[in-house]
Structure 1
C-alpha cells in the first residue's frame, strides 16, 4: 500500500487504528512494527505517532507488550546526533515535524528526555555533537 492511499489521522477512530494493528498481528502471527504498518497497513505509522504519542503506546493500547528501546535507554548523545543528522537533511535547525518525518526517533522521545522539544533543541545547540 502506498502512502498516497493511506488515510489521515483526523478521520480515523482510535478503534479503527487499533483494529488495524490487530489485523496485521493476526495476518503476520506477531505484533506489527511501525515499518510493517507503513508497508502493509491501512494507515501510516505517523498517524499512530500523532494519535497515541508513540508506536509503543499504540501497541500497548492494542493489547500487546511494547518492544524496543524506550526513551530512557537511548543515549543522549545518540538523540542529539540524530537531531544533527536531520538538521543537515533539512538545512536548518529541525522542527518537531521534521524529526517526525525524517528522524529515527519520535519528537515525543525528545520531549520525554528533555522536557520539551525546545529544550532538546537548546541542548543540541549548546552540545558538542552539533555540526
Structure 2
C-alpha cells in the first residue's frame, strides 16, 4: 500500500508577499540563463501576473533592480545620454552615424528612444548637432575613405545572382565572347 503525502497549495486570490515575487523573478531569470527578464518572458514562464510585480515595486524595472537583476528596457533616457551615444558613434565611424548602426556596438542605445524623444532619427541628429555646436564639442576629424569604415560586400545577393543566371540561360560567359560554360 502506498502512502499519500499531504501537500499545501496556494489559494487563488491569496495575497503574495514581496519576497515570493522576487524569488519567482529570480527563478525565471535563472531558468532563462539571463541577468534580466523581459515582461513577455516573465508572462510566459513566471508564476504570478506581471502587473502585480510592477504595481508592488512601482515599476517593472524597480522590481528587477530589487531582485538584483539588470534592467531589461530602460525608459526616459536623458538627452545627455542619448547625445553621448551619438557622439560615441560619430567618433567611432568618423562620420555621421546611420540609423542602422544603432543596432550594433558600440551603440548602447537602440533607435526607439530617439524616435520617442525626437520623432525620428533625422530630428535626433539635428538636435545633437545643435547641442554639440552650442556646447563647443569638437567634431571628430574626417577619416580617409576606408579608415575605420565597414567594408561593403562585393558579392551580389542570391536573388540578383538567380536573375542574372536566368537571363543568361544558366551559362557563364568567360573572357572570350564565343566561349560559354554551363553554370551548375
TM-score by length of 1: 0.51
Pair 1:126 & 2:160 matched:
no
Unaligned runs of 5+ residues in structure 2 are: 1-26, 44-49, 55-59, 62-70, 139-184
Structure-to-structure mapping, 1:1-131, within 5 angstroms? 26=28, 28-29=30-31, 32-33=34-35, 59-62=38-41, 63=43, 66-67=60-61, 68=71, 70-72=74-76, 74-102=77-105, 103-128=107-132, 130-131=137-138
1:75-111 residue CA offsets vs partner (Å, 9 max, x unmatched): 1011111101111001111111112212111111111
What is the aligned partner in structure 2 of residue 11 from structure 1?
A: none
Kept after mapping to 1: 8 A contact 2:102/2:110: yes
Unaligned runs of 5+ residues in structure 1 are: 1-24, 35-55
Kept after mapping to 1: 8 A contact 2:29/2:35: no
Kept after mapping to 2: 8 A contact 1:100/1:107: yes
- Output the CA distance in 2 between the equivalents of 1:33 and 1:112: 26
How many pairs does the alignment contain? 83
User: Which has the larger share of helix?
Assistant: 1
> SS at the partner of 1:70?
coil
Kept after mapping to 2: 8 A contact 1:71/1:113: no
Q: Which entry has the higher C-alpha Rg, 1 or 2?
A: 2
Q: 1:27 to 1:126 in 2, by over 3 A?
A: closer
- Output the CA distance in 1 between the equivalents of 2:113 and 2:40: 18
Deviation at residue 114 of structure 1 after TM alignment: 1.0
